[in-house]
Amino acid sequence: MRCPSCGFPESKVVDSRPSDDGAAIRRRRECLECQHRFTTYERLGDTPLLVTKSDGSSETYDRNKLLRGVTVACAKRPVAPDQITSLIDDIEAELRQAPRTEIKSQDLGTMVLERLRSLDDVAFVRFASVYRDFKDVEEFAAALEELR
């Protein structure tokens, strides 16, 4: 690890401890050249999750994109920001436990809908209207019927 102060390529570990609830290791290092101390974090390398869209194209999973969609669906509703974060964290935990590296956007949308249903009915219908791409009032009414 290069020293951020002098650029010397060698350092020694002075202290090491778990960080981020065990998801990373925080290491205090000391440069062997100038004795400058600095902190590094070691994390397990994630293989990126790919989302396969309905048109067949793929893109890397983007937490912020999912967060924006759920936040828009929950706008002006009695849903706290930490409830939305918890919903996204729950989905990501389920995705990490699965042995796959690809997920269909439809499956990801279904995971969101399952969780939104118990969180807020209006947010559920808002998200469903975009996710399912309603073409007419009958499709919208069918989504409302699911809530009964």
Whether 2 maps to a domain, the answer reads no
- CB–CB of 27/15 below 8 Å? yes
Whether 5 maps to a domain, the answer reads no
The residues, any chain, with a CB within 8 Å of residue 24's CB and separated by 6 or more, are: 18, 41, 42, 43
User: Do 108 and 57 sit in the same domain of this protein?
Assistant: yes
Whether 38 maps to a domain, the answer reads yes
Integer Cα distance of 24 and 45 in angstroms: 10
User: Do 60 and 108 sit in the same domain of this protein?
Assistant: yes
So what's the pLDDT on residue 93? 84
Integer Cα distance of 41 and 27 in angstroms: 6
Whether 64 maps to a domain, the answer reads yes
Which structural domain range is residue 135 located in?
50-146
Whether 142 maps to a domain, the answer reads yes
**Does the predicted model carry a pTM greater than 0.85?**
no
User: Do 39 and 66 sit in the same domain of this protein?
Assistant: no
So what's the pLDDT on residue 148? 65
Whether 1 maps to a domain, the answer reads no
Integer Cα distance of 107 and 87 in angstroms: 15
So what's the pLDDT on residue 54? 85
User: Do 37 and 98 sit in the same domain of this protein?
Assistant: no
User: Do 55 and 128 sit in the same domain of this protein?
Assistant: yes
- CB–CB of 112/91 below 8 Å? yes
Whether 131 maps to a domain, the answer reads yes
So what's the pLDDT on residue 119? 92
Reading the chain (148 residues) residue by residue, the pLDDT tens digits are 889 999 999 999 999 998 877 778 999 999 999 999 999 988 766 678 899 998 999 999 999 999 999 999 999 999 999 999 999 989 988 888 888 889 999 899 999 999 998 999 889 888 887 877 777 777 777 777 776 6
Q: Tell me how many domains the chain contains.
A: 2
